Structure 1
Amino acid sequence: MQIEQLSAWTDGSDQPFIIAGPCSAETEEQLFKTAKELKENGINVIRAGVWKPRTRPGTFEGIGEDALKWIQKIKKELDVKFAIEVANAQHVELALKYGIDILWIGARSTVNPFTVQEIADALKGHDVPVLVKNPLNPDLALWIGAMERLNQAGITKLGAIHRGFSTSKKTKFRNLPQWQMALELKRKYPEMPMICDPSHIAGKRDMIQELSQKAMDLVFDGLIIESHIDPENAWSDAAQQVTPTHLKEILEALVLRHTKSDNPEFQTHLAELREKIDELDREIFETLADRMKIVDEIGEYKKDNKVTVFQINRYKEMMKARGEWAEELHLNDEFMENVFSLIHDAAIRRQTLIMNETEEKA
């Protein structure tokens, strides 16, 4: 993909790129007051929900075009930029008509290639930045595919918004961060601006500081945070919005780290530690290779004795034991489960190949 650097379509600052504003544009007064306070606190790009994709009908779904008229007036009066979500071609046309500066595609839209293509077609010939939120579920190919469709339509001012992933599990997050998904996208496309949405990951305002700092530590390029003049009485997402004053406190408390240090002592010590990591990684790979030899041997034995590859009771025993080992070694339970599940899945694939008399190795 051909992607412009973030500095090419922002103010060029080396500080994190910040977008903030209410979940929804509710009234002209609410939007103006929020934008004014944000501007006074150093925020120059305001977000506002004009159309709100809601899970169920009968809830507040946005003001629509009238909100765009408010935005047009506020932009001139306060000298700020605005970012809004678009979900179809009509939204795009109206957003461009009213001079919206940045568009974003929401998680519900990203999951549908037809919707993304419709938006991409409507954007052809226009030079406007577009940010793409991750899809509802952790599907990296779907996320990348949405950006590729926009890029093929001529959009080069592209960026990604990491807002976390839906889950049926009860966790402290509204949406699971699964940071590795955003980092994998960044590894594939280092030039891709990566914006974190701590508001939607958290679902509650008291976690926004922690998540914003985590994003900065992972070298995200910026943040998009919901801010409302009166969060408690917001018409949508009240629990996760912060006042402009609170937002300023959050941003001022961020510790911005460097990607490298010129300190010779640091460089030397870091090189030594990395060498130890490399040695341990080599040992891990050698151990895994030995394990797979035994897996193959077991596969042959199962085949000769007409025994199924997957043994549910054995799997449960293994998971229980490995969980206990992880606890003894002070390893995170989720980390252990993810790692061992990958190893076990690889073992199942190898034994399945053996059952089918395939010599190919996984």
Structure 2
Amino acid sequence: MGKSFEAWGWSEKHPLIIAGPCSVETPEQLDETVAALVKQGVKIIRGGVWKPRTRPGSFEGVGAIALPWIQEVKKKYGVKFAIEVANPNHVKQALDADIDILWIGARSTVNPFTVQEIADSLKGVDIPIFVKNPVNPDLALWIGALERLDQAGLKRIGAIHRGFSNFNDTTYRNSPMWQLPIELKTKFPELPLINDPSHICGRRDLLFDVAQMALDLDFDGLIIESHRDPDHAWSDAAQQVTPGVLGDMLHRLKIRTINPENSEFQYQLEQIRGQIDDVDRELLEVLTRRMNLVAQAGEFKKMNNVAIFQIDRWKKVFKSRSEWAQAMRLNPEFIKELFRMIHSESISKQKEIMEDKQLEK
């Protein structure tokens, strides 16, 4: 599954840039925004026509009346246009209006029935379609949506990483959880993968760093919300930027080389990677030792009829490891997450020991 942009026959330079307002609001707003984006070199415009919102009463897009406005700016400025579709009726109206690119939103991706209905409505149609990751961090659900489109015969399928819901995250609107799009790309190397820093960040001041991270990870492009007057946008005002700010940001972004031909660089990099492999093996050996000690503690607990989980001990571990990490100039949040996983596995291991004891009785 998945063909590169080159295989799609696209001539757009790498990385692909899609930009435009969160929502198409009025003919004037759309025209002025597109005109300014074209001056910044943007050739593919995004714009919300139908907006699935969390709660009723929120602005849900102006609907199909925006489609003629889109047709007008496409003709006037020679741009391609991308919109979100959430059901077969949206698909039909978009195709009738000569929309160039479709995407399935995060709220739709979570529902296989919805994705299947959209896939069925696109059978026999050759149009690029992207699938945003589901709201929750579920890679299988994301892959399943892409597979449904593939099985419907669509040839130009791509993915959009827009971050994942996480109530623990106080920085981002949606946590990047970079390991999930990386795993998707590992499974499907040819699948075009673009990043949506606007929905990850929820704030315009964070956009640059997230966009740069995506390019550093060799994403194929970016889709960014841009509005002529972001502060007065009808939806998602805080995460949109003016076309001028967008142009400046795109100019500052660094595009990394993927396969440098410098033999000395390759040799030195392989040496470092070899050392990383050695350290990783040592880490696993240390982790094995730790789990063996966890097992010993579990045996001791069951002999003395002691509960597996002891909150005071966990609080001490959680606090001290974070402090140790900070002293060693490691990211404390990373270490907290790491020890949460280690602690969860330790409980599972001791639970198995307790259950074995019960079976013996």
**TM-score normalized with structure 2 length:** 0.94
Aligned to 1:319: 318
Instruction: Verify: 1:91 aligned to 2:64, yes or no.
Output: no
Tell me which amino acid in the other structure corresponds to 1:226.
E
Aligned to 1:23: 22
Aligned to 1:274: 273
Tell me which amino acid in the other structure corresponds to 1:341.
R
Question: Structure 1 170/352 Cα, relative in aligned 2: closer, same or farther at 3 Å?
Answer: closer
Q: Residues of 2 paired with 1:127 and 1:271: CA distance?
A: 43
Aligned to 1:72: 71
What is the CA-CA distance between 1:14 and the residue it aligns to? 4.5
Instruction: Verify: 1:328 aligned to 2:327, yes or no.
Output: yes
What is the CA-CA distance between 1:26 and the residue it aligns to? 0.6
Tell me which amino acid in the other structure corresponds to 2:5.
L
> Given that residues 322 and 333 in structure 2 are in contact (C-alpha distance below 8 angstroms), is that contact kept between their aligned partners in structure 1?
no
Q: Residues of 2 paired with 1:318 and 1:29: CA distance?
A: 59
Tell me which amino acid in the other structure corresponds to 1:319.
F
What is the CA-CA distance between 1:131 and the residue it aligns to? 0.8
What is the CA-CA distance between 1:166 and the residue it aligns to? 2.1
Q: Residues of 1 paired with 2:71 and 2:13: CA distance?
A: 28
SS in 1 for 2:259: coil
What is the CA-CA distance between 1:51 and the residue it aligns to? 0.5
Aligned to 2:260: 261
SS in 2 for 1:82: strand
Q: Residues of 2 paired with 1:10 and 1:313: CA distance?
A: 61
Q: Residues of 2 paired with 1:41 and 1:349: CA distance?
A: 55
SS in 2 for 1:247: helix
What is the CA-CA distance between 1:196 and the residue it aligns to? 0.7
Tell me which amino acid in the other structure corresponds to 1:130.
I
Q: Residues of 2 paired with 1:234 and 1:296: CA distance?
A: 57
Q: Residues of 2 paired with 1:286 and 1:325: CA distance?
A: 20
What is the CA-CA distance between 1:316 and the residue it aligns to? 1.5
Q: Residues of 2 paired with 1:345 and 1:165: CA distance?
A: 22
Instruction: Verify: 1:303 aligned to 2:298, yes or no.
Output: no
Aligned to 2:202: 203
Greater displacement, 11-20 / 78-87: 11-20
What is the CA-CA distance between 1:351 and the residue it aligns to? 1.8
> Given that residues 44 and 82 in structure 2 are in contact (C-alpha distance below 8 angstroms), is that contact kept between their aligned partners in structure 1?
yes
> Given that residues 301 and 308 in structure 2 are in contact (C-alpha distance below 8 angstroms), is that contact kept between their aligned partners in structure 1?
yes
What is the CA-CA distance between 1:18 and the residue it aligns to? 0.6
Q: Residues of 2 paired with 1:323 and 1:347: CA distance?
A: 18
Aligned to 1:172: 171
What is the CA-CA distance between 1:215 and the residue it aligns to? 1.0
Tell me which amino acid in the other structure corresponds to 2:347.
I
Tell me which amino acid in the other structure corresponds to 1:163.
R
> Given that residues 169 and 175 in structure 2 are in contact (C-alpha distance below 8 angstroms), is that contact kept between their aligned partners in structure 1?
no
Q: Residues of 2 paired with 1:14 and 1:75: CA distance?
A: 20
SS in 1 for 2:159: strand
Tell me which amino acid in the other structure corresponds to 2:211.
S
Question: Structure 1 29/169 Cα, relative in aligned 2: closer, same or farther at 3 Å?
Answer: same
Q: Residues of 2 paired with 1:312 and 1:149: CA distance?
A: 45
In the comparison of the two structures, how many residue pairs are matched? 357
Tell me which amino acid in the other structure corresponds to 2:322.
G
Q: Residues of 1 paired with 2:273 and 2:2: CA distance?
A: 32
Superposition map of 1:141-220 within 5 A: 141-169=140-168, 171-220=170-219
> Given that residues 24 and 47 in structure 2 are in contact (C-alpha distance below 8 angstroms), is that contact kept between their aligned partners in structure 1?
yes
Aligned to 2:243: 244
Tell me which amino acid in the other structure corresponds to 1:216.
L
Q: Residues of 1 paired with 2:209 and 2:280: CA distance?
A: 30
Q: Residues of 1 paired with 2:237 and 2:333: CA distance?
A: 30
CA-to-partner distance for each residue in 1:300-340, whole Å, 9 max, x for gaps? 22222222222222222211121111111111112101211
Aligned to 1:222: 221
Tell me which amino acid in the other structure corresponds to 2:43.
N
> Given that residues 294 and 350 in structure 2 are in contact (C-alpha distance below 8 angstroms), is that contact kept between their aligned partners in structure 1?
yes
Q: Residues of 2 paired with 1:342 and 1:170: CA distance?
A: 17
SS in 2 for 1:356: helix
CA-to-partner distance for each residue in 1:229-279, whole Å, 9 max, x for gaps? 222221111221112222111111111111132223222221221121111
Question: Structure 1 14/32 Cα, relative in aligned 2: closer, same or farther at 3 Å?
Answer: closer
Q: Residues of 2 paired with 1:206 and 1:236: CA distance?
A: 17
Unaligned runs of 5+ in 1: none
Q: Residues of 2 paired with 1:188 and 1:164: CA distance?
A: 19
Tell me which amino acid in the other structure corresponds to 2:106.
A
Tell me which amino acid in the other structure corresponds to 1:229.
R
SS in 2 for 1:137: coil
> Given that residues 131 and 159 in structure 2 are in contact (C-alpha distance below 8 angstroms), is that contact kept between their aligned partners in structure 1?
yes
Tell me which amino acid in the other structure corresponds to 2:77.
L
**TM-score normalized with structure 1 length:** 0.94
CA-to-partner distance for each residue in 1:91-150, whole Å, 9 max, x for gaps? 111111111111111111111122112211211221111111111121111111111122
Aligned to 1:285: 284
CA-to-partner distance for each residue in 1:25-54, whole Å, 9 max, x for gaps? 111121122112222321111101001112
What is the CA-CA distance between 1:12 and the residue it aligns to? 3.1
Greater displacement, 228-237 / 306-315: 306-315
What is the CA-CA distance between 1:58 and the residue it aligns to? 2.1
Q: Residues of 2 paired with 1:134 and 1:342: CA distance?
A: 24
SS in 1 for 2:14: coil
Greater displacement, 103-112 / 68-77: 68-77
